[in-house]
Structure 1
């Protein structure tokens, strides 16, 4: 994992062959921590060149209250512009096509990237965007979304909110597929990192079913291998 700058001097972390299909890997609201770097490393081993844009500019935390402050201080319109610069950087330095994958806050921003940032495809995990920054029904590139049925973050990543967005996109003819995992809650993809046990216990999220997490991993890799070919 290499610390880099891209665009107009923006910070980020990059890993993978520069000629491989690119992925912007978008952080959770904790910031760019060990978990998101492990996820990017995992995806690089699947054959992708990954760039994590550091949207908090070096700040990260595992304290929920502090994370909320960082999230509330983030200008999402500026963040979307920075994601666009990340996509442009990957394209201009060797990656023929670029996708977006993100988690929690990054899941919501993945929808934004699909509408505004020039990606070929997006895979949002457990996050939905505010309509002020993303009109998801106007997305024209393939989207594969992933949500846990046990997710209780109402209005953002719970099943009812996800299904409402799914219906809105379906009615508009947007090319989106939504996947629901019966034995998973919020942040379930983090179970693939080395911090999984302590993480789920600390924040009270359900321990996800390993076979469902493996399925989500398999799906997202197959999705991007197809869409970024």
Structure 2
């Protein structure tokens, strides 16, 4: 497990990489929440590596300030996280993710197969990886702002798994309905709604963590990745 550097279209940026015991392995780009590449994201990478994936989490906030590592435990950190999200350039972020995937596929430890899994902001970015990249599959956990991106859904040509929380405080009910309606006929998209759960229900230790829902979502994710990246 180590920090690596990736060369992107606008310069080099850091990423955390967790390498599985057996290589070559499929790559999984783990996409950060609004708190940066913090302990939560690093631990997720470590867990995916234990399951046989070359897991890489790139620093998407590097243009604003590199190496951001916040928690969800204080109001000041939440405010800083929202400020970073407001300054974040989504389009450039997608290019960084594509560069990360390309970098990973060129590593000796990678089979050439590669997908993404993103949480919160990362859930939005994984949706965009499905619409704008050649990733083999993508997983979105409680992505924000997806109702505004449905025009890109026609570009999805690889499997996309989406986890939505029915009581998501950052995705209003009307937005959820719009997302489900807009994607319900798409043959590459599978949506699971977790009734009674709030945003970030799978973030262990978080305010809205729900062990049962998280276990179910994570099992679905592992099964999905096994089907499409093996």
Q: TM-score, normalised by structure 1?
A: 0.86
1:148 equivalent in structure 2? 165
Is the contact between residue 148 and residue 183 of structure 1 (CA under 8 Å) also seen in structure 2?
A: yes
In structure 1, which of residues 12, 17, 27 is the aligned counterpart of residue 15 of structure 2?
12
**1:186 is aligned to 2:218:** no
2:46 equivalent in structure 1? 41
1:84 equivalent in structure 2? 98
State the 1:160 CA deviation: 3.9
Which aligned pairs between 1:1-229 and structure 2 lie closer than 5 A? 1-8=1-8, 9-17=12-20, 18-57=23-62, 58-62=67-71, 63-93=77-107, 94-128=110-144, 129=146, 131=148, 135-153=152-170, 157-171=171-185, 173-191=186-204, 196=205, 199-200=206-207, 206-208=208-210, 210-229=211-230
Aligned residues: 213
2:202 partner SS: helix
Counterparts of 2:214 and 2:155, CA distance in 1:
29
1:71 partner SS: helix
Counterparts of 1:14 and 1:134, CA distance in 2:
33
Is the contact between residue 99 and residue 122 of structure 1 (CA under 8 Å) also seen in structure 2?
A: yes
Deviations 1:79-138 (A, max 9, x none): 100000011011111232111100000000000111112201110000143646971243
Deviations 1:167-226 (A, max 9, x none): 21234x3410101112421111112xxxx0xx31xxxxx341x22211111110010010
Counterparts of 1:99 and 1:56, CA distance in 2:
21
Is the contact between residue 114 and residue 122 of structure 1 (CA under 8 Å) also seen in structure 2?
A: yes
Is the contact between residue 27 and residue 113 of structure 2 (CA under 8 Å) also seen in structure 1?
A: yes
Is the contact between residue 115 and residue 139 of structure 1 (CA under 8 Å) also seen in structure 2?
A: yes
2:203 partner SS: helix
Is the contact between residue 137 and residue 174 of structure 1 (CA under 8 Å) also seen in structure 2?
A: no
| Distance 1:45-1:163 versus aligned 2 partners, 3 A rule | farther
Deviations 1:10-58 (A, max 9, x none): 2101002351111100000111111111111111112211000111121
1:189 partner SS: coil
Q: TM-score, normalised by structure 2?
A: 0.85
